[in-house]
Amino acid sequence: MKKTNETYTVGQLKDKVISGRAITGTEAIWLADFADSNELYEAAGEITRYFGKPEFNPCSIINAKAGKCQENCKWCAQSSHFNTGAANYEVVSPDKVLDQARNDEAKGVKRFCQVTSGRTLSKDSLKRICENYRVLRRDTALFLCGSLGLLDRESLQELWDAGMRRYHCNLETAPSYFSRLCTTHTIDDKIRTLRHAREIGFQICSGGIIGMGENMHQRVELGIKLREVEPDSIPVNILVPVKGTPLAEATPITDEEILTTIAIFRFLHPKAELRFAGGRARLSRETQLKALAIGINSAVVGDLLTTVGSKIDDDMHLASEAGYIVEAHR
């Protein structure tokens, strides 16, 4: 996206969003380039409070199938193209999935997601993943999500029938930057899977990773591209450089860049859940509270795929401190 010479005010663009109209890419670029940070953050917070619910919406994940991925995503510890020492195992048992799910549910988690490595699922893996969902549906009250690769409509229908109701597939980064990070699949492949999921009835979870060498305009570009899949939930990941990957020495982006990205995503997606995901552990408590005030109103809590996340109790306390209603532990 090109830099704009147009002149707006943050208040004008905030009022436009609250009135139900979408800001343009040009207007989003203006926010990134010219808006006063404090004014931008305050306006994004107003949009969040206007459209959002007062309840904090946490989810947790289990790495249900790990490693040996043939895709060459430069950020990923589970790619077989890189030597990272990440764990490798096939689909975990229903007992293991249920044990973690019950533990997380008891701590106030409402959504639970199985995540698998690899481009797609084999027939055997799909069968085992579906069995896990049937057990979770029977023995918990959790809303069930999945992040299971690039699936066809038939496979997604099997997952729906097993009880899964939200599908996750990140677009990851701007279309103009994606091929510099991954060449074994495309953003169009991801969008195709998400469209199949939406047609079946799934809610959609799709976001990306910031701090992989992209610039702020490309973060805006990602936010605009995400409109094509109309995500209900947008995970905001901050790159965690992993030794052995090509991004191991990536320069960390600043807290201000992170907060500005969150604010602009809120302008672009006023009704979506903006979900803190990987990488936020590097942020101070003050910065995390500011992010929650600006636009973050949900989070992936607990440990993540190949990196340590945060304690569920700590996340719940943080959300409560930020003013969200947090469901009491059972």
- Asked whether residue 71 is assigned to any structural domain, the reply reads yes
User: Which pLDDT does position 256 carry in this prediction?
Assistant: 98
- Asked whether residue 41 is assigned to any structural domain, the reply reads no
Range of the domain at 211: 55-321
CATH of the domain at 222: 3.20.20.70
Is residue 310's pLDDT more than 80? no
Q: Provide the CA 271 distance to its chain's centre, in angstroms.
A: 15
Encode 111-142 in three state secondary structure: EEEEEECCCCCCHHHHHHHHHHHHHHHHHCCC
Q: Which residue has the higher pLDDT, 330 or 107?
A: 107
- Asked whether residue 34 is assigned to any structural domain, the reply reads no
Q: Which residue has the higher pLDDT, 309 or 119?
A: 119
Nearest CA to 128 among 108, 102, 146, 101? 146
On average, the pLDDT of the chain sits at 94
In the three-class reduction of DSSP (H, G, I as helix; E, B as strand; rest coil), residue 173 is classed as coil
- Asked whether residue 330 is assigned to any structural domain, the reply reads no
| This prediction's pTM | 0.94
Based on its alpha-carbon atoms, the radius of gyration of the chain, rounded to whole angstroms, reads 19
Mean pLDDT of 238-254: 96
User: Which pLDDT does position 309 carry in this prediction?
Assistant: 47
Instruction: Give me the half-sphere count of Cα atoms (radius 13 Å) on the Cβ side of residue 39.
Output: 12
Mean pLDDT of 74-95: 94
- Asked whether residue 32 is assigned to any structural domain, the reply reads no
**Token code pair at residue 140:** 């918990």
- Asked whether residue 74 is assigned to any structural domain, the reply reads yes
What is the tally of structural domains in the chain? 1
The angle at the Cα of 244, spanning 239 to 245, to the nearest 5 degrees, equals 45
User: Which pLDDT does position 327 carry in this prediction?
Assistant: 74
- Asked whether residue 47 is assigned to any structural domain, the reply reads no
Is residue 328's pLDDT more than 60? no
CB burial class (10 A; 0-12, 13-18, 19+) of residue 215? middle
User: Which pLDDT does position 172 carry in this prediction?
Assistant: 98
Q: What are the pLDDT digits (tens) for 141-189?
A: 999 999 999 999 999 999 999 999 999 999 999 999 999 999 999 999 9
The angle at the Cα of 242, spanning 217 to 79, to the nearest 5 degrees, equals 90
Is residue 135's pLDDT more than 70? yes
Contact 191, 156 (CB under 8 A): no
* For the chain, percent of residues with pLDDT exceeding 90: 88
User: Which pLDDT does position 312 carry in this prediction?
Assistant: 85
- pLDDT bucket at 11, cuts 50 / 70 / 90: very high
Contact 17, 43 (CB under 8 A): no
Rounded-to-integer distance, Cα 256 and Cα 104, Å: 32
Contact 299, 316 (CB under 8 A): no
Q: Which residue has the higher pLDDT, 302 or 169?
A: 169
Contacts of 214 (CB under 8 A, 6+ apart): 173, 174, 177, 222
Q: Provide the CA 1 distance to its chain's centre, in angstroms.
A: 23
Rounded-to-integer distance, Cα 55 and Cα 310, Å: 20
- Asked whether residue 68 is assigned to any structural domain, the reply reads yes
Q: What are the pLDDT digits (tens) for 191-245?
A: 999 999 999 999 999 999 999 999 999 999 999 999 999 999 999 999 999 999 9
Rounded-to-integer distance, Cα 189 and Cα 195, Å: 10
**Token code pair at residue 306:** 């190949």
Nearest CA to 165 among 191, 193, 137? 137
